[in-house]
């Protein structure tokens, strides 16, 4: 970020557009200023770490920040630009980021080095790194090496990195919402390099642009268009969101003031998926070198490993980078390797290494250790850490800290924040007399804003961390040179990730929407306010209740202070009311008036616990393909937060990823929220993740999700047809019964449940209840649909010879007519022609007594089964159920407690009445369109309109 000023320079403008600085207009960072390094001096050097560096003259970088050299290749190597094999024994390698190239490709390289990538970020946006995992054929975006060992990935964008490369990752995640700074004029492509799906083709030249050997090619994180890095310059910079443009919630239409909240909180990502604090960074007791992607091998006797710290913060936290250098390396060489390990490409003459004795690792980090300058003479190098025969040192210290030498002046880049100016930044000289006020006064005339006065602007320091972006407004009298020195003392890495903005002083009124669930239902707004005041001591002047969902026991708070919002968020999550834990979510505002006319955003609900537990991967895939603000995890607050966020959207659709019970849960919430929605009847699609998935079968979404491409799933949702499905209300009115073996002592209050598929009483509900209880006890075992069905079979075999005479334990009334029941063990009310994982319980035979069933005819069919054997015969297609009745109103009287299940959700119902009736308006569902046969000769990667189809997410 900063570099030594050129003689006579005072201030100049950085050319280029406001979205990206032009590196050629800024001081060159370390270009051709180093001494040649000897073998094994680069980052990641050591046995088995890659091609050996051959001492050669430095090559001029063809892209920002690279330090290219000719190297001698010792194993098969591929070009990171064209991805072709490098023939011969010589290649061009960047000593900092390991970018490898043909010499002929060097002039075409546009990819910036990892050392200067933070300075090219348009809008700093932190990442959401998930847990460690094995990602085959993926490459680290920082050091460009393969992820053979467990790596981490961002849950929102396509960034893959080694755990110890996380601190060096660029804060360039997708910008998914406005944060109170500026409005979007146009939406630009968000390019991410490498890790493209197999078979990806370039949008420009139509040749293959993917590679399984190196990090090559680029992909837009919004529209999915893919290209070679050179070809991408020929594409228009504006992004149209591609094939999913009608389903994506545009970032310009979402507002969230996210100060004090991490991106994990903003996107409602469960923190159980996040790395532990400090994970992904190096520790002093590490058994392996900290370099990215390094193999653990025995060191040669001629080499040594040194622990390098980059500042006081690293020493206090025991986080270091390990480098391997020859034992006879010169001081200059060791210093260069240490700087490269931290991706620092400034002139080594401005730094020195200080030895840290063992006691100093946990104590004071001052200049108590022996220091040496990064000189180049043989005399100075003999005193460095690589010296073997130094007379003044009896033992070479293993731990060193990089220190920046005192500077009397620096050149600093000042960015114009969101001001409408034609430059990316202004570079000016900072002296000991420079303060935040004088810098603003000097910058404003260069931006043409001097007429507005100093009081209208302020200097803002932004730390662009990979996990969180922190903003600090500097005081007018803050000495900038001292501030820079303090940052470098804390961490040299932080200095490279720190940026200074001249921003308008206008006050952004803090407003954070905080969803609080888990409260007692049925209370008034005043009672909820009093309850929250008592539980978390919310401040009346800063917190108000904006929305109340009394039936669900939830409220939405408007908080007018960022610090208070953070305090409430953390406190609510650790609070229980009446023995029930509360839920806290940070919700965005959807600016519905700014939605494009053609936009029908898709609201996605995912239940990660359904069926084979595939929901976790789907959550990540949908967050990447869509806007993360339109994807909700049902185990984190249920469906209500999603419907609240979309309440003002005039037209939207819903995708439910889960089993039949999950679909019923979402439909019930939609029924309760219908009168609050600007789109009261959104069409609902299903991605079946459960065990039965009967509604999904009827609507052609298949028997269950088996790893299909999530992009193809979204395209199918976009092309689906809307159909109507009946919804039914079941009133459960238990009453007190006499003492008996199967009776309950206390009466239960009446409750209402909704039904879309079927309601079972007796043997089928008992099997469903056994399965539900087994899954609750050991959820880790229920990871496949095949295993789940096996549990059903075992439970059925245990009940084959048990008879309970259900027909004697209940009475059925259809309309006003009493229905005589045959000898049965299960009574089932069906609304769709699928039951028990696709079985046709009603049968296809015509019957003059009943009408032909349809799922939108306003009628329910009542069927009986005689036992487990009968149920097995129905599922095998050998028999059908016993047809009993058909109608729109039923009354069931339970004479004793019996198992009951509705849409796969079972419980034991106490004696009393069950009244089943139509639930008002029918629900709009989406039925998957029938697959159209592809014309002969039409390639798979071309759509019917002739345009190339973007590749889906391959994970």
Checking if the pLDDT of 666 tops 90, the result is yes
d(C-alpha 518, C-alpha 554), whole Å: 6
Average pLDDT over residues 243-258: 91
Percentage with pLDDT > 90 across the chain? 32
632 burial via Cβ count (<10 Å: 0-12, 13-18, 19+): buried
Chain position carrying tokens 């299909």: 708
Average pLDDT over residues 663-667: 90
Helix (H), strand (E) at residue 91: strand 90-94
Percentage with pLDDT > 70 across the chain? 77
What is the pLDDT confidence band of residue 827, given thresholds at 50, 70 and 90? very high
Q: Do the Cβ atoms of 916 and 887 come closer than 8 Å?
A: no
What is the pLDDT confidence band of residue 31, given thresholds at 50, 70 and 90? very low
Nearest by Cα to 190 from 209, 174, 169: 174
Checking if the pLDDT of 411 tops 80, the result is yes
What is the torsional sign of CA 189, 192, 198, 204?
A: positive
The mean-pLDDT minimum among 358-372, 451-465, 657-671, 896-910 falls in 358-372
Q: Do the Cβ atoms of 900 and 656 come closer than 8 Å?
A: no
pLDDT for 612: 60
Mean pLDDT of the chain: 79
Rg (CA), the chain: 33
Show the tokens assigned to 739: 């003492």
882 burial via Cβ count (<10 Å: 0-12, 13-18, 19+): buried
The mean-pLDDT minimum among 179-193, 233-247, 636-650 falls in 179-193
d(C-alpha 102, C-alpha 85), whole Å: 9
Phi/psi zone of residue 474: left (φ > 0), alpha (ψ -120 to 50 degrees), beta?
beta
d(C-alpha 604, C-alpha 34), whole Å: 53
d(C-alpha 791, C-alpha 782), whole Å: 9
Compare 29 and 537 and report the one with higher pLDDT: 537
Checking if the pLDDT of 808 tops 70, the result is yes
What is the pLDDT confidence band of residue 496, given thresholds at 50, 70 and 90? confident
Nearest by Cα to 641 from 651, 650, 630, 652: 630
Q: Dihedral through CA 539, CA 543, CA 548, CA 554, nearest 10? A: -60
The secondary structure of residue 851, as a DSSP letter, is P
Question: DSSP letters along 51-70, please?
Answer: SEE---PPBPPSSTT--EEE
pLDDT for 838: 78
- pTM for the model stands at 0.82
Sheet holding 721-725, edge to edge: 631-633, 602-606, 653-658, 684-688, 923-927, 721-725
pLDDT for 395: 56
Q: Do the Cβ atoms of 803 and 867 come closer than 8 Å?
A: yes
What is the torsional sign of CA 231, 237, 241, 245?
A: negative
DSSP E strands: which ranges in 152-302?
152-153, 160-161, 191-193, 218-220, 226-227, 254-255
Checking if the pLDDT of 183 tops 70, the result is no
Nearest by Cα to 58 from 37, 73, 86, 79: 37
Q: Do the Cβ atoms of 496 and 460 come closer than 8 Å?
A: no
Nearest by Cα to 310 from 335, 334, 342, 280: 342
Between strands 90-94 and 100-101, the pairing is antiparallel
Checking if the pLDDT of 18 tops 50, the result is no
d(C-alpha 116, C-alpha 107), whole Å: 18
Compare 365 and 622 and report the one with higher pLDDT: 622
What is the pLDDT confidence band of residue 185, given thresholds at 50, 70 and 90? low
d(C-alpha 838, C-alpha 702), whole Å: 10
Nearest by Cα to 581 from 641, 516, 537: 516
DSSP E strands: which ranges in 833-928?
860-865, 882-887, 889-894, 898-902, 905-909, 912-918, 923-927
d(C-alpha 756, C-alpha 108), whole Å: 60
Between strands 631-633 and 602-606, the pairing is parallel
Please write down the HEC assignment for all residues of 592-632: HHHCCCCCCCEEEEECCCCCCCCHHHHHHHHHHHCCHHHEE
| Close Cβ partners of 841 (under 8 Å, ≥ 6 residues apart) | 828, 830, 835, 863, 865, 874, 880, 881
pLDDT for 921: 82
Selection from 54-58, 66-70, 515-519, 871-875 with the highest mean pLDDT: 515-519
Checking if the pLDDT of 380 tops 70, the result is no
pLDDT for 657: 93
The secondary structure of residue 369, as a DSSP letter, is S
Phi/psi zone of residue 568: left (φ > 0), alpha (ψ -120 to 50 degrees), beta?
alpha
Q: Do the Cβ atoms of 242 and 224 come closer than 8 Å?
A: yes
Show the tokens assigned to 932: 């159209």
Average pLDDT over residues 709-719: 94
Helix (H, G, I), strand (E, B) or coil at 528: helix
d(C-alpha 126, C-alpha 175), whole Å: 9
Please write the tens of the pLDDT for every residue from 922-946.
899 999 998 765 554 444 444 433 3
Tell me how crowded residue 186 is: count the other CB atoms within 10 A of its CB.
9
Average pLDDT over residues 548-556: 92
Q: What's CA 484's distance to the chain center, in Å?
A: 33
Selection from 358-372, 627-641, 753-767 with the highest mean pLDDT: 627-641
d(C-alpha 748, C-alpha 767), whole Å: 23
The mean-pLDDT minimum among 13-17, 125-129, 406-410, 543-547 falls in 13-17
Compare 539 and 428 and report the one with higher pLDDT: 428
Average pLDDT over residues 140-156: 90
Please write the tens of the pLDDT for every residue from 667-699.
989 988 999 999 989 999 999 987 778 888 899
What is the pLDDT confidence band of residue 249, given thresholds at 50, 70 and 90? very high
Helix (H), strand (E) at residue 339: helix 331-341
Please write the tens of the pLDDT for every residue from 436-461.
999 999 988 888 877 777 788 889 99
Between strands 758-762 and 191-193, the pairing is unpaired
Q: What are phi and psi of 825, to 5 degrees?
A: -115, -10
Side-chain-side CA neighbours of 655 within 13 Å: the count stands at 30
Nearest by Cα to 278 from 317, 316, 315, 309: 317
Helix (H, G, I), strand (E, B) or coil at 835: strand
Compare 798 and 282 and report the one with higher pLDDT: 798
Q: Do the Cβ atoms of 952 and 227 come closer than 8 Å?
A: no
Average pLDDT over residues 149-162: 90
């Amino acid at each position: 970020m900063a570099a030594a000023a050129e003689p006579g320079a005072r201030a100049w403008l950085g050319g280029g557009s406001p979205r990206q600085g032009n590196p050629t207009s800024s001081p060159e960072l370390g270009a051709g200023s180093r001494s040649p390094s000897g073998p094994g001096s680069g980052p990641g050097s050591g046995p088995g770490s890659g091609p050996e560096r051959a001492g050669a003259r430095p090559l001029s970088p063809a892209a920002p920040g690279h330090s290219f050299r000719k190297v001698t290749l010792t194993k098969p190597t591929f070009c990171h630009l064209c991805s072709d094999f490098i023939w011969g024994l010589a290649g061009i390698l960047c000593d900092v980021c390991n970018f490898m190239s043909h010499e002929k490709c060097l002039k075409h390289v546009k990819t910036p080095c990892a050392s200067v990538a933070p300075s090219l970020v348009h809008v700093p946006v932190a990442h959401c790194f998930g847990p460690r995992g094995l990602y085959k054929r993926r490459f680290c975006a920082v050091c460009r090496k393969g992820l053979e060992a467990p790596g981490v990935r961002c849950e929102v964008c396509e960034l893959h990195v080694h755990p110890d490369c996380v601190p060096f990752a660029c804060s360039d995640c997708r910008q998914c919402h406005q944060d109170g700074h500026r409005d979007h004029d146009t939406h630009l492509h968000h390019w991410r390099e490498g890790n493209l799906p197999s078979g990806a083709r370039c949008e420009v030249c139509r040749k293959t642009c993917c590679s399984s050997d190196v990090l090559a090619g680029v992909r837009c994180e919004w529209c999915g268009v893919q290209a070679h890095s050179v070809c991408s310059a020929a594409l228009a910079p504006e992004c149209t969101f591609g094939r999913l443009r009608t389903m994506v919630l545009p970032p310009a239409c979402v507002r969230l003031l996210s100060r004090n909240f991490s991106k994990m909180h903003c996107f409602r990502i469960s923190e159980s998926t996040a790395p532990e604090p400090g994970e992904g960074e190096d520790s002093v007791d590490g058994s392996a070198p900290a370099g990215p992607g390094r193999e653990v091998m025995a060191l040669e006797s001629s080499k040594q490993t040194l622990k390098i710290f980059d500042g006081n913060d690293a020493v206090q936290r025991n986080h270091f980078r390990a480098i391997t250098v020859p034992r006879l390396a010169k001081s200059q060489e060791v210093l260069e390797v240490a700087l490269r390990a931290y991706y620092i490409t400034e002139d080594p003459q401005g730094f020195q290494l200080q030895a840290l004795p063992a006691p100093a690792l946990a104590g004071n980090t001052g200049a108590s250790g022996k220091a040496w300058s990064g000189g180049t003479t043989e005399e100075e190098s003999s005193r460095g850490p690589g010296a073997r025969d130094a007379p003044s040192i009896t033992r070479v210290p293993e731990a060193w800290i990089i220190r920046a030498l005192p500077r009397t002046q620096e050149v600093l880049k000042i960015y114009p924040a969101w001001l409408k100016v034609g430059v990316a930044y202004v570079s000016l000289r900072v002296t000991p007399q420079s303060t935040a006020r004088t810098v603003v006064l000097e910058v404003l005339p260069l931006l043409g804003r001097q007429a507005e006065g100093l009081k209208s602007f302020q200097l803002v320091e932004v730390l662009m961390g990979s996990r969180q972006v922190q903003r600090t407004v500097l005081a007018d009298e803050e000495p900038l040179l001292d501030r820079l020195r303090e940052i470098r003392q804390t961490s040299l890495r932080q200095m490279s990730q720190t940026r200074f903005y001249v921003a308008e002083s206008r006050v952004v009124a803090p407003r954070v929407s905080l969803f609080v669930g888990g409260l007692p239902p049925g209370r008034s707004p005043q009672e909820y306010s009093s309850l929250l005041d008592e539980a978390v001591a919310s401040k009346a002047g800063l917190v108000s209740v904006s929305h109340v969902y009394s039936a669900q026991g939830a409220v939405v708070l408007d908080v007018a202070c960022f610090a208070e919002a953070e305090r409430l968020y953390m406190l609510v999550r650790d609070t229980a009311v009446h023995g029930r834990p509360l839920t806290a979510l940070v919700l965005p505002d959807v600016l519905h008036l700014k939605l494009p006319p053609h936009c029908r955003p898709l609201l996605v609900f995912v239940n990660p616990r359904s069926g084979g537990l595939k929901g976790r991967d789907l959550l990540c895939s949908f967050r990447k393909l869509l806007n993360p603000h339109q994807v909700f995890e049902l185990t984190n607050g249920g469906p209500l937060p999603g419907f609240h966020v979309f309440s003002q959207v005039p037209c939207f659709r819903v995708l439910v990823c889960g089993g039949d019970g999950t679909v019923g849960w979402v439909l019930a919430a939609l029924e309760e929220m219908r009168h609050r929605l600007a789109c009261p009847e959104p069409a609902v699609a299903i991605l079946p993740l459960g065990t039965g998935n009967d509604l999904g079968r009827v609507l052609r979404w298949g028997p269950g999700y088996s790893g299909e491409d999530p992009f193809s799933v979204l395209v199918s949702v976009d092309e689906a047809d809307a159909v109507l499905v009946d919804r039914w209300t079941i009133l459960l009115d238990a009453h007190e019964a006499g003492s008996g073996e199967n009776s309950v002592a206390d009466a239960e209050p009446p409750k209402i449940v909704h039904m879309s598929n079927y309601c079972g009483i007796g043997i089928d509900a008992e099997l469903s209840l056994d399965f539900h209880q087994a899954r609750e006890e050991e959820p880790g075992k229920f990871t496949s649909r095949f295993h789940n069905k096996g549990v059903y079979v075992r439970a059925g075999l245990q009940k084959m010879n048990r008879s309970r005479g259900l027909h004697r334990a209940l009475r059925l009334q259809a309309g006003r007519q009493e229905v005589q029941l045959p000898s049965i063990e299960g009574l089932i009310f069906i609304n769709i022609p699928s039951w028990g994982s696709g079985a046709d319980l009603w049968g296809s035979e015509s019957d003059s007594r009943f009408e032909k069933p349809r799922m939108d005819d306003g009628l329910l069919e009542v069927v009986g089964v005689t036992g487990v054997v009968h149920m097995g015969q129905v599922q095998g297609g050998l028999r059908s159920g016993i047809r009993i009745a058909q109608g729109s109103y039923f009354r069931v009287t339970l004479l004793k407690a019996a198992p009951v299940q509705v849409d796969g959700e079972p419980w034991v119902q106490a004696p009393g009445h069950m009244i089943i009736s139509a639930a008002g308006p029918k629900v709009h569902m989406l039925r998957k369109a029938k697959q159209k046969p592809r014309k002969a000769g039409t390639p798979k990667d071309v759509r019917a309109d002739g345009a190339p189809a973007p590749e889906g997410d391959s994970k």
